[in-house]
Amino acid sequence: MEQRKIFQQDLLPKYECLLFDVDDTLYPLSSGLLEECTHNIIEYMVQRLGIDEKEAPGLNQFLYKSYGTSMAGLKAVGYDFDYDDYHSFVHGRLPYEKLHADFHLRTLLLSLPVRKVIFSNANKAHVAEVLKRLGLEGCFDEIICFETLNQSDYASGSAFAPTSILCKPQEIAFEVALTKADINPRKTLFFDDSIRNIQAAKRVGLHTVWVGSSLHSEGVDFSLESIHNLKEALPELWQRDDFDKSENRNKNYRKMGVETSVVA
């Protein structure tokens, strides 16, 4: 009986969940979307918040570095603004046509016999638009985004509005996200292009994959120059099929068909 228990332990998958950032992780930094986003943020600071044109770029950098996102920083230093207005100004005007369908990544994701969850600081509409442009709709089991961590009923200016915005790399944001999605960090691989997000993820117990880099750094378990290298770097993620089926372990995999491989 005891031996059987040990045998079953050995067969348990190391990873039950894959947690993915979106921007500059599911598509490359070279898309140019980040520069456009930064440009829109600076324009928002000047046009909507009345911040001096010359000071806005430096302040934006400072706030991003200090508070996780520019939006969280603006809120933390006392600017009051409507979250929806910010998102439609900053994300709503992005040139999404810069992103193209990535059939190779879609095939990889759909063939993975593991639960897949998005964890992005961006708003729901942005995440949905990016996934649509990349052809990745239906590849993820759940989406954790701005609205998940920052309830929409906390309207700006409301007496009940929180004084801060929850976002990566705050450890509390990871903890809330993991609890909401019922994710065990010890059995989860987290993918992100930001080293500070990776390091925060490590502190809360997640296994980490630094995407967009081939370097090693503190808190990094694996690094991938591109998310496309996933299968070469972590082939074990695909090696659970027989066991999973026999143990009724992964319902999602059985629901999803494996598509014909098409290289983007």
Interacting residues toward Mg ion by CB under 5 A: 21, 23-24, 193
> Which residues contact residue 162 at a Cβ distance below 8 angstroms, ignoring those fewer than 6 apart?
150, 154
- Residue 61 is encoded by which pair of tokens? 């950098």
Map tokens 């989406």 to a residue: 143
Q: Closer to Mg ion by CB, 24 or 147: give it.
A: 24
Q: Closer to Mg ion by CB, 21 or 183: give it.
A: 21
Q: Closer to Mg ion by CB, 21 or 102: give it.
A: 21
CB of 164 vs Mg ion, minimal distance in Å: 20
Residue 168 CA, chain-centre distance (Å), reads: 9
- Residue 140 is encoded by which pair of tokens? 């993820």
CB of 25 vs Mg ion, minimal distance in Å: 5
Pairing of strands 17-20, 142-144: unpaired
Q: Closer to Mg ion by CB, 201 or 256: give it.
A: 201
CB of 43 vs Mg ion, minimal distance in Å: 21
Show the beta-strand stretches assigned E in the chain. 17-20, 115-119, 142-144, 188-192, 207-211, 222-224
CB of 254 vs Mg ion, minimal distance in Å: 31
